Amino acid sequence: MTITSAHDTVTFAFPDVHADAELYIEFIRTLRMRGDVTTNMSAPGIGSLNVLAAADCVRPAPESWNTDDVVLPLWQSEAATISFAAGYPFLVRVDVDGTNAITGSRRTATPDFTTIDHLEMHVQSRLSGHRGGDGLVRQFVPSRLRAPGTPVDGTDVCTVAIEVTPLRGEVWDRRVVAAEEMYLRSGAVAESSITEPSDNWDLAARATGVVRIINSALWLQLNHCDPPHRRLTQATYRRDGLPWFEWYDDELAVSDEVAPSAG
């Protein structure tokens, strides 16, 4: 199993399970919704965001991080949606700071097939937010900036753990053969099942990658530069009919100094 990050994509590959077992993850840049709470109306996407392996930061990452952790910088004016793509089935669990993104409960050691604490990936899927203990689903956003002179450390982070479990290779092979036979007989292609039996997942092969969502101040500390993409502006929010708050501007976004009033 390998986890790699390059440019805007994180790749999970399980060659020991099956040559086809590869999952691609991108982080889509979006606007922040009011209160960072997602609704039936998703925030518009504005392209994919670049990521960086912690080992490739200019300065050493916090000691609590692993070198293969993925670093995702965000300005205060933006959020991220996680996009998954694969041609092979995967079971994916996402935890945010130790809380399951689907259920809002604390992380468990293994997938829960009763309450459904995971996504089943067959082709493509997106996760635009994570559920908290209050039941609300909030966007993936950076931590608020601190007052000038306040030391920046590894706690200024939203830690997203992505656990990926591949389908058993023999199950996939049988399914491919059956699909080919059906196509030869009728010219039709069988649709993927919506829910896999729990025994179909290779839990022994699962792997976890960690994404550190950080604000512009911590990115500057680690890399001596601003995040690689331009910050969003008030004009962008007005165009999409969403409220703009003063603290969306990183020059003003200092915790407890700027009231979160809409502009």
Residues 6+ apart with CB under 8 A from 140: 27, 79, 80, 81, 82, 96, 129, 130, 158, 160, 213
CA angle 240, 246, 249 (to 5 degrees): 85
Residue reference for tokens 């950076």: 142
At residue 41, the pLDDT reads 58
Quick one: CA dihedral 140, 204, 116, 189, positive or negative? positive
At residue 135, the pLDDT reads 86
Print pLDDT tens along the chain (263 aa). 788 988 899 999 999 999 999 999 999 999 998 887 876 556 778 899 999 999 999 999 998 999 999 999 999 999 999 999 999 999 999 999 999 999 999 999 999 999 899 999 887 789 999 998 888 899 999 998 877 667 666 678 999 999 999 999 999 999 887 766 554 455 544 555 568 899 999 999 999 999 999 999 999 999 999 999 999 999 999 998 889 998 899 987 665 444 444 44
Residues 195, 120 contacting (CB under 8 angstroms): yes
Backbone angles phi, psi at 115, to 5 degrees: -85, -15
At residue 131, the pLDDT reads 93
* Pair type for strands 207-214 and 70-73: parallel
At residue 181, the pLDDT reads 59
At residue 229, the pLDDT reads 94
What pTM did the predictor assign? Answer: 0.89
Residues 141, 74 contacting (CB under 8 angstroms): yes
Residue reference for tokens 């919506």: 194
